[in-house]
Structure formats: C-alpha cells, structure tokens
Structure 1
Amino acid sequence: MGTQHSRSQGKANLWLMISSVGKIHHSWVVLAAVCGLAFANSVASLNVLTVFFLPMSDEFLWNRTQISGAASLGALMGAGVAVVMGRILDLTGPRVILAIGALITTVSMIALSQITSIMAFYIFYGAARVSDQGFIQATSPPTIAKWFDKKSGVAVSVLFAVTALGGVILPIISQMSIAEFGWRFGWLGLATIMFLIGAIPVISFVRIPKDFDANDSDGVESGNFTTSEFSLPEVLHTKEYWFLTTTVFVTGIATAGIGLHIVPFLVGQGLNPEAAVATVSIRFFASAIGGLIGGILADRYMPRLLILFAISIRVFSIALLIFADTFMKAVFSGALGGLSDGIQSTVLVLLLVSYFGKNNVGG
C-alpha cells in the first residue's frame, strides 16, 4: 500500500515538474490536454459524417435515413451512458473516462475504414457517438470546471471555442483526404488525429486537483472546492436542476436534426452545395466566438440572463432558417445559431457549478 502511494506521489511530482516549465500552472496544462481531446472529438460529429455521406452512399447505395439512423441511435445510447460517466467522474476523476473514450473513438474510426455492411456501420459509428457524447462531451466541461475557480468562465469558454474549431477544420481535412485517397483513408486519418491529439495528451497530463496542492490563484482554491457543495440526491430535489435539465432537453430536441440535414435542406432551398457547406463552417466559427463571449460575460453578469439571451437567439435563428432561400439569410441564421450554441454550452456548465458546486457537476 505504501509502495503504491509512493509511486502515485512520484508520478504527481514528475507531472508537476513538467507543468511548471515556464511557470505554467497545472490547471492550464489540463485545459490544454482536454482541449486537444475536444478538438479531435469532432471526428465523431455530424458535420464530419456529412462529408462521408456521398462517397459511402454511392458505394453502398445507402440513403440519408439509414446513415442518420446510426447517428441517432448512438446519440440516444450516449445520453444514457453520460449519466453514469458523470457520476463516475465525481467519484474517481476524469483521466480513465476520457482515455477510454478517446481509445473507443480511435478503434471505431479504424473499423469504419474497413466496413462493408450497414450493420457494421451502425456498430462502429454508433460506438463512436456513444464515446463522443457519453464519455468525452459529458466529462470534459466538468473536468475543467473542477480545476478552475476565479477564471472558470474563461477556461470553459476556451474549451468550447476549441471544440467548435474542430468542427470547422476536421470536415475540411476529411474532404481533402477523401478527394485524394478515398473515404476509407479518410476514416483512418481521423483515427490518427484522435489518437495523437486526443488520447495521448489526456493519458499523459489529465489529473484531478486533489492530487496536488492547488491553492494559487490560477487554479482551484481548496476551501472553495469543498464548501457549499450539494450531494447528488440533494441536487435532484431542487427545482433549479430540473429547470436547467428541461432547458437542455427542449433546445436539444429543437436543433437535433439541423447539423446533419442542413446542407441538403439549403440545397433544396436553392443554394449551391458550396454555399450550403460554407454556412456550416460559419455556424461553427460563430459557436467558437459565442463560447468565448459567454465565458467572459459569465464572470461578470448573471448566467441565467445569458442563457435566456442565448435561447432567444436560437429561436430566431431557427425561424430564419425556415425561410433561408438566399446565401445571406443562411449565413445570418447559421451565425446566430452558432452564437447561441457557444453561449449556452459555456454558461450552462458555469451555472451548474454556481448552483450545486464542483464535486457533483459531473453527475
């Protein structure tokens, strides 16, 4: 027992030495590692799947309903897994959860490069979506929230901005890979990105604050980390929790199909395919900006008002999208929708922490 503790302490000390290079607080090293994973996690996003739709459907004669079914099934399963992973995060920390998620996605991408049937596609793309939503998305924001106190708004906003950046860059990389080498190589390229940028940094650098003496102003202050905390049963009996849960559920239902179907919808509205794809990139750029804005404003103003503002923007963007028969209307709708996504995603995490504390934000 003593030997195991000594080894653990030795690893922590080594990690502190690495993170102290240039006097960088270890909370920022954790943020960088989780941001790498969040960026790479876009390999399982719907806007990347859209790029693979045409070449795979041409080869296998699959339709959009069949392909989107795998995404929907994986998302539903991921939602159930997320509840469990969030609770495990609060009890054990994020390193193992995030590492397993990254490795599942890596293996799934490799398997997708070899598939020959719709059943195999459902199994492996579904697994990637479960990892995406159940392991990585569910635990990344709470991990950052647990590490930061005074600068939590900035830290969480950076995480969501990098996530959105992955949503812009990885579809372009995928499209270039497919055009040059084919869709099978495209999936292999995504597996490589996830392993190098996602899995390795998380395994190497992600820890929990209690492993260190995290008392300086850059990270979590010990007293603030353990005081005014709710237990999970107490959280489930508060009306604030259920209001927030309802908000997430309703907005998710309202926008769930937009990511996968927006390009063919806009083409049907009269836009050319290039213009339709451009609106997707604009939406993710706007989401990155919205995340940064939301994090900065959340440190200064009431988070509840910011979420109401984000929802109002989202409603207007959806209404505008229905009538988007020109490129400018589509761009305006996409920019507003992305801005709303970024603000709401960032501020929601901070609002949960402010209501219920850091120790149970995962659950």
Structure 2
Amino acid sequence: MMINSLRKIHYSWVVLAAVCGLALANSVASLNVLTVFFLPMSDEFLWNRTQISGAASLGALLGAGVAVMTGRILDQTGPRVILAIGALITTISMIALSQISAIMAFYIFYGAARVSDQGFIQAVSPSTIAKWFDRNSGMAVSVLFAVTALGGVLLPLISQASIAEFGWRFGWMVLAVIMFLVGVIPTILFVRSPKDLDENDGDGVELENFTIPEFSLSEVLHTKEYWFLTATVFVTGIATAGIGLHIVPYLVGQGLDPEEAVATVSVRFIASAIGGLIGGILADRYTPRLLILVAISVRVFSIALLIFADTFLKAVFSGALGGISDGIQSTVLVLLLVSYFGKNNVGGIYGVNRAAAVLGFSAGPMIAGIGFDITGNYNYIFYGFLLLTILSIGLVFSTNRTYPGVR
C-alpha cells in the first residue's frame, strides 16, 4: 500500500504536501486569475464589470453557507472526501468555462468553482493541517499559505500566456488540467484524517493533537472575541476581494500597460508567500494577535499607496506591502483561533469564521464593480476600503484570550 511505503516519513508531512498541491492548483478559481480573463471576455461578449463581478460574488456568497457545513463535517469525518469533491467540481467547472457563450453559463460554472474554492477547499485546508500538527503547526500552516500564494503568482502568468497565444478558451482548459493533475490526484491518493491513520497504523500520528478541546463550538459562539475576529475577516475580506478582482483594470486605467498590471498581481502573491512564511515563524515567538495587528496596519498603508499609484514602481510597492499583509494575516488567523479556543473543534470554528470572510469576498467585487459603473472610476470605492481596513484594527485590538464559561 502506498501509505505503508511512506511509513518512515511522518505522515503529517505527506498530508501537508498533498494539501499544498491542492492549494496551489486551487488558485485557478481565485480572483487574481479571473482578473486576467476580465478584459478579453468582456471585450468578446460586451459584459460589463458588474456582470462579471457578480458571478464571483454569487459563488463566494454560496460558498459561505457551504463553509459552515464543511467545517463541521471535517471535525466529524475528516478532510479527504470534502477536498476531493471540491477539486473535482473545480476541474469540471474550468472545462465548462472554456465552452461558454452566455452570461448565465458563466454564472453557473464560475459560481460553482468559487463555491468549491471558498466552501470546500479554503474552508477545510488550514484546519486539516492544524489538526495534523502540534509542535510545528506554525511552520506547517505558513508553508500551506506560502504555496497558496505561489499559485497566485504562477497561475495568472500561465493564464496570461495561454490567452495571449491561444485565446481565453484555451486558458480555461489549461487551468482544468492543472487542477486535475496537481489537485485531484494527490488529494485522493494521500489526504487522510489523523484519526484514520491512528486507527490503522497507530504510530503515524502525533497523539497530543487529540486532547480535550478548551471550547465547544457553542461556547465559542458566545464570546465577543470570536465575533470581533469574525467581523475583522468580513471587513478585510470586502477590501481584499474588491481590490483583488479590479486591480488589473484599475492599474490599466492609471496608465500602466496590461502586462505591468498583471506583473503587479504576481508581485503581490510573491510577497504573500514570503509574508506567510514570516508569519508562521514569528507566531512561535510573538502572539498571533500582535502579528495580525501589524499585518492589518501594513495593509492600510498598502491601500493608501495604491490609491495614488500611477507608476509601475508605486504599484509594485503597494502590491508587495499588501501581499506581505495578506500572507501574515492568512497564516496567523487559524493559529489565533487555535490559541484562543482549542484545536479539536477548529474545523467548525474556522468554518464559521471563513464563512464571514467569504461574505466579505462576495460583497467586495460587487461594491467595486457597481461603484465603477456609476462613477466611472474606483477612487471613492478604494477610499471606502481604506476606512474599513482601519476599522478592523480596532476590532482586533479589542480581543483578548478568554476561557470556557467566561463571557
């Protein structure tokens, strides 16, 4: 059996490698890839930006509801089936997108990919890794988010090259192949639950992962700390997704070439990968709360700089700062939840929190798209995103570690 042949390797690292492959491939459904398809598809079909943004928002909104359920299912049955179903949905959706000619079909299939992205894969992957690791959890989660960011660097470039050479339909097919080879196959072959391996092999799991949780999900839902953190990911999700989907057309409107605008997206994700690794390392030395406060503060400066970015250098600097902020916050958030509320129910805890983030992701692109269609520019919208990000600093600052039974 393949698992037995890997017995000498602590199986937590095998699971991490497989989930990282899926996370990298899952960038096919990210807003940073969709923004590369934005102009060629809108030019061919005469779709406006609100219409295209609506598909991303609708899919994310539905994914929010799914995330609540998949988080609870993870705690009860493990991650393999959830992640495999998500990867297959995305693969099929990418194939279908290469054949569409109507806006309704775009909504159906891109919406399905976003549900899979937000509700299945991103809602479950970090909690899966947190359950497998104990002493090295910070490093493991940081590797996961760094690889996720790497996908955000590579796949927009691959998409842009495919579109430039063969057209946008071919671009979607390339993304389908990547998801199947890098996401579907490793997930089916290698992803397991720690409980499964403990029952079968006995010596492949860090048993200290299965301590009695400090909080049940119902207790967590009665703490102000949890809802302040949930509000934080909601408002930062609005700003992140609103800017993320529209950054290429925004920078083109600021005078940059399309290639420079796409390169800025790649710089942001390179910085996000670096930020994720930094966050994981620093989480072993500093409190996650402090790191998230620093990350959001950096994001405030990044958005402020982006508003005035009319050169490639300014855009790259803004993207680098924003990427570092994204990487640190994404990595440290799940560690903060574990440090506040325990590990065994982290699937359900993170799932509800992720649902709030996804709601923000769904609202952000629509807000930016409607704002642009009404005013003809992004200035007022981006100023609003800046204010929301400043608000989130106060929300995180108001949280402190609590204990079961303390409200």
TM-score by length of 2: 0.82
Displacement of 1:219 after TM fit? Answer: 7.8
- The answer for the alignment partner of 1:353 in structure 2 is 338
User: Is 1:305 aligned to 2:295, yes or no?
Assistant: no
Whole-angstrom distance in 2 between the partners of 1:166 and 1:303? 25
Correspondence list, 1:183-332, <5 A:
183-213=168-198, 221-332=206-317
Matching residue of 1:56? 41
AA paired with 1:19? L
2:151 is aligned to 166
Match of 1:38 among 23, 28, 36: 23
Distance 1:290 1:147 in 2: 22
The correspondence for 2:61, drawn from 56, 62, 76, is 76
1:333 is the counterpart of 2:318: yes
The residue type equivalent to 1:65 in the other structure is T
- Residues 73-222 of structure 1 aligned to structure 2 (within 5 Å): 73-213=58-198, 221-222=206-207
Conserved 8 A contact 2:305-2:314: yes
CA contact (8 A) 1:30 1:206 kept: yes
**Aligned residues of 2:89 and 2:116 also touching (Cα < 8 A):** yes
Contact 1:284–1:338 (Cα < 8 Å) also in 2:
yes
8 A Cα contact 2:251 2:310, kept in partner: yes
Could you say what secondary structure the match of 1:362 adopts? helix
8 Å contact from structure 1 (residues 148, 219) kept in 2: no
User: Is the Cα contact below 8 Å between 1:30 and 1:205 reproduced in 2?
Assistant: yes
Aligned-partner SS, 2:239: helix
> Cα gap change, 1:333/1:220 in structure 2, threshold over 3 Å: closer, same or farther?
farther
Distance 2:3 2:266 in 1: 38
- Whether the 8 Å contact between 2:156 and 2:262 is mirrored in structure 1 is no
Partner deviation per Cα, 1:307-363 (whole Å, 9 max, x = no partner): 110011111111111111222221111111000000000000111112222221111
Question: Relative to structure 1, is the Cα distance of residues 325 and 178 closer, same or farther in structure 2, using a 3 angstrom cutoff?
Answer: closer
2:343 partner SS: coil
* Distance in 2 between residues matched to 1:224 and 1:171, nearest whole Å: 37
Counterpart-to-counterpart distance in 2, 1:319 and 1:36: 34
In structure 1, distance between residues paired with 2:214 and 2:2 = 28
Q: Which residue, 5, 15, 19 being the options, matches 2:6?
A: 19
Structure 1: gaps of 5 or more residues = 1-13
Identity %: 86
Q: Is the 8 A contact 1:146 1:220 kept in 2?
A: no
- The CA distance in 1 between the partners of 2:176 and 2:255, in whole Å, is 35
* Paired letter, 1:117: A
For 2:347, what is the secondary structure of its paired residue?
Answer: coil
SS of residue matched to 2:101: coil
Matched residue type, 2:336: L
- Name the TM-score, length of structure 1 as normaliser: 0.91
Deviation at 1:266, TM superposition (A): 1.5
Task: Choose between structure 1 and 2 for higher RCO, CA contacts under 8 A separated by at least 6 residues.
Answer: 2
- SS of equivalent residue, structure 1 residue 212: helix
- What is the distance in 2 between the residues matched to 1:223 and 1:111? 44
Runs of at least 4 residues off by over 4 Å: none
Gaps of at least 5 residues in structure 2 are 349-407
Give 1:18 shift. Answer: 2.8
How many residues of Structure 1 are paired with residues of Structure 2 in the alignment?
A: 345
Residues 114-153 of structure 1, C-alpha deviation per residue, up to 9 Å, x if partnerless? 1111000000000000000000000000000000000000
User: What one-letter code is carried by the residue in structure 1 that aligns with 2:87?
Assistant: A
- Say whether the 8 Å CA contact 2:213–2:343 is kept in structure 1: no
- Quick one: distance in 2 between partners of 1:259 and 1:238? 31
CA RMSD of aligned residues (A): 1.6
- The answer (yes or no) to whether the contact 2:24–2:147 under 8 Å persists in 1 is yes
